[in-house]
Every structure is written in structure tokens, then in C-alpha cells.
Amino acid sequence: MKARETVAPSTDVGEVEDALGREGHAALKGDILVVDDVPANQRLLSNVLTEQGYKVRSAINGHMALMAARAAPPDLILLDINMPGMTGYEVSRHLKADARTRDVPIIFISGLDETEDKVRAFTVGGVDYVTKPFQIAEVLARVETHLSLRRLRTELQRANDELETRVEERTAQVLQLAVDKGKLERDLQMAREVQASFLPEETPQIPGWEFVVRWRPAREVSGDYYDFLEGKEGKIGLVIADVAGKGMPAALFMVLTRSTVRASVDLASMPADGIARANRLLCADASGGMFVTLFYATLDPAAGEVTYVSAGHEPPLLCRAESGELVELWPTGMALGVIPEASFEQRTVQLCSGDLLVLYTDGLTDALDAHEVDFGLERVQRVVLEHRHGSAVEVVAALEQAVDDHTGSAPPFDDTALLVIRKR
């Protein structure tokens, strides 16, 4: 059995209070377990720590220490090494192996002052080592230091746990958004496919005539559309239209417009009457300020005549192949869906061999470059004039290339529909 190590402090408790300051007593709170088989050491440490505002529990051997620590884990343990039955080293191993107590800091207090004793103490989980006889001020300082470190670790762990919780919640939100986005993208892709199915799959095949179309939505779906209608006496109905706005609302109104126009002109004896009827029906169904600009024409291939009604639409360009003259076909009425009683005028133009008729929506002229400069009507006119002797395919390709060169990598600003007709 070891000789009992009764330690007399070399510093008076009153001197310690003066050194630490009375304001520090209230801040140095904590639950400390003192493990020592010498009653005098127990009393000394308990009295000093209690005076400093700590809660102190005592254990006189290793088994009692383990039971006390597991029942209510302390904030810090002061642990002797040489004790009967179980050494402090063994106690520390058991504490560090238990999830309930592995994070409790252990300060060894022992009369063993060999280097290997201290190394062993740190190896089994000690955070500090005080040699007997100890200085009370030193013990208090080390207790305060390790309790402060424990509080910081606890706060850091709490903050880390909260951060992990937020990250997990945010990750879950992002994953849900990704799922929702994927579903939305699939729905929009399906909507685009459905909308595209309303557009003619082929252009009219009429000897002596060329028809070329392009349709570019700015988003997944579009408010612009074109159409070909089978007319009476071999005539062909031509439609190009632009619904105000973009995206799904415009796409839905586009489908309504297409169906309404088709039904209305089929029942009318003249284009103007058909468009007037379509306008009345659209006004009854339009909501939220929706309206549509539209150019409707009937082409008589045999006579080369185009009879048209323009409801507030961008003026199509009639390019005379022989003279290079550009004629703009100005609106003959207002946009559809605004005023039910609106009236519309119809006009007729003659196409000669080589002439071009270019129908477009404002997505063509309004295409923006990186500096937000639009493509403009002048550029459209210049490209048409430069390629007026080419085929309709060549004119459309030239316009597309010119727009692409102008916009570069800038995203599409607006939906675009383009229809070029050429009389051979």
C-alpha cells in the first residue's frame, strides 16, 4: 500500500481569492468530481473549489468514481493515480471507453513526478497533470482553463450540430427543388411538344411557290405561331401571330387564338369578316390584359394575289425581285382581344415572279446583343434585299445567320416566328 499523500497548500485560500478577484468566483461554475483516497486531500480540494463557486463531488476509489461519473457526468475530474483496487490510469481508460464520459476532461493530481508517469497519464486520456505537493493557485488556474476549453468545445459542437442541421435541411430543400424543377421541366417539355403539335408539320406544296418557316420559342413554350389553312377554290390561308407576353400564359392564349381564328375564317366569306368574328370571340375569353397581333392572308396561287388583314401586326415585307423595292404591309386594324367592336379592312397585293413576302414576329427585330442593342428592321430589310434573288430557304438561312451573329451568346429575348413565301 502507498504512503498517504497529505498535501498542505503553499498558498492561503484568501491570497488566491485576492489573486483571482472576487468577480471571477461567479463565473467559475462547474461540476467537479474529486477522486482521491486520502481524506485530507479530498477536504482540501473540496473546500478550495467550493469557495470558488464550484459544485464538488468526491469519490475515495476508482469504482466509486466510475459509478458517480456514469450516473451524472461531471464537467471535470481531478484524479489521483495511486489508489487501492483500481489505479487512476485504469479509471481513465474506463471513462474514455464510455460514450457518456469520454468527453469529460481529466486532470491527474499525483505525487508521481517521473516523466514516464506523466506520459502514461496523457496516453490514457488525461488533459493535464499536476504534481503533489501542488500549488492551489495552479490547480485553480488549470481547472478554470480546462473548464473554459470544455465550454468552448461544447459551444463549438452545438454550433456545428446546428450548422449540420441547417445544411441537412437546406440540402433536403435543394433536393426537393431539384425534383420539382425536374418535374416542371418535364411538364414544360411536354407542353412544348403539345404546342408544337398544333403547328403545321409541313409547308404547302404548290407548284411555282416556295414556303419556308422557322419557329423559335424564347422559353420552353411560345406565344408566337404560324399556320396554313386550306381555303376554298384552291386558295391557301396564311397566319402569323404574336401573343402579348411569354411563357405558359402566352402559349395557352396562342392555342385559343389558333382554334378561334381557324373556326372564324372558315365560316366567313371574306378575310376581314373572319378576323372580326375571331376578335369578338377572343375579347369574350381574354383576361388579364391578354391580346394578340395577327396577320392573316389568303393566297390565290393561280392569280398570284394575296388578300390580307393585319390586326396590329409587324408589317410584313413585300420585296420586288425586279426593282428591289420593299413594300411594308401596314396594319389594317387593331390587335385582337382588345375591343369587341373593332373593325378590320382587307387589302390585296400582287406577287410577280421572284417576289418575296416575309412575315415575321417582333422577336426577329427585337433580338438583342450583349449590349442590349436590337437587331432592328433596317438589318432585316438589308438582308432581304441582299438575298432577294435567292430561294426562300436561302433568305431564311441568311436572316437566321445575321440574327445569330448579332446576338452572339446572349439568350433569346423574345419568341420568334418567321415565314418566307417566294413566287418562282
pTM of the full structure: 0.60
Q: What is the pLDDT of residue 23?
A: 41
CATH number for the region 13-159 comes to 3.40.50.2300
**For strand 326-328 and strand 347-350, is the pairing parallel, antiparallel, or unpaired?**
unpaired
Question: Which of 32, 29, 33 has its CA nearest to residue 61?
Answer: 33
- The span from the CA of 92 to the CA of 398, in Å, is 84
- What is the DSSP secondary structure assignment for residue 203, as one 8-state letter? -
Domain boundary assignment for the chain: 13-159, 199-423
pLDDT tens, residue order, the chain (424 aa):
444 444 444 444 444 444 444 444 434 479 999 999 999 999 999 999 999 999 999 999 999 999 999 999 999 999 999 999 999 999 999 999 999 999 999 999 999 989 999 999 999 999 999 999 989 999 999 999 999 998 988 888 888 888 888 888 887 888 788 777 777 677 666 766 767 788 998 999 999 999 999 998 887 778 899 999 999 889 999 999 999 877 778 888 898 999 999 999 998 999 999 999 999 999 998 877 899 999 999 999 999 999 999 999 999 999 999 999 999 999 999 999 999 999 999 999 999 999 999 999 999 999 999 999 999 999 999 999 999 999 999 999 999 999 999 999 888 888 899 999 999 9
Architecture of domain 199-423: 4-Layer Sandwich (3.60)
**For strand 356-360 and strand 347-350, is the pairing parallel, antiparallel, or unpaired?**
unpaired
- The span from the CA of 183 to the CA of 410, in Å, is 26
Query: Which residues, in sequence order, are CB contacts of 386 under 8 Å at separation 6+?
Result: 398
Q: What is the pLDDT of residue 184?
A: 67
- What is the DSSP secondary structure assignment for residue 304, as one 8-state letter? T
| CB neighbour burial string for 51-87, b if at least 16 within 10 angstroms, e if fewer | ebebebbbbbbbebbbebbeeebbbbbbbbbbbeebb
